[in-house]
Amino acid sequence: MSSMRGVTVFMGDALERRVNGHRVNDGKIRSFSDVAREAMEKGLGVMERERRESAGATPESVESNAAA
């Protein structure tokens, strides 16, 4: 798992938080732990999808099974 590095940039009155170069502030100031948790959850979702795909499940079959 890659390490995450957070940087807070002050530009006048604007506060912009960047994680690995990506802007993550969507109008509210969040703590770094919130940003890290969201990134981890997103990463876990990607890992879960890759695990299902490697087991032979296609995204279409997963969606059709969920709808049934």
Print pLDDT tens along the chain (68 aa).
445 565 555 444 445 556 666 666 556 666 778 778 888 888 888 888 888 888 876 666 656 655 55
Q: Is residue 1 part of a domain?
A: no
Provide the domain count of the chain. Answer: 1
- Specify the pTM: 0.33
- Write down the pLDDT at residue 13: 42
Q: Is residue 55 part of a domain?
A: yes
- Structural domain of 24: 6-67
- Write down the pLDDT at residue 1: 41
Give the three-state DSSP class for 66: helix
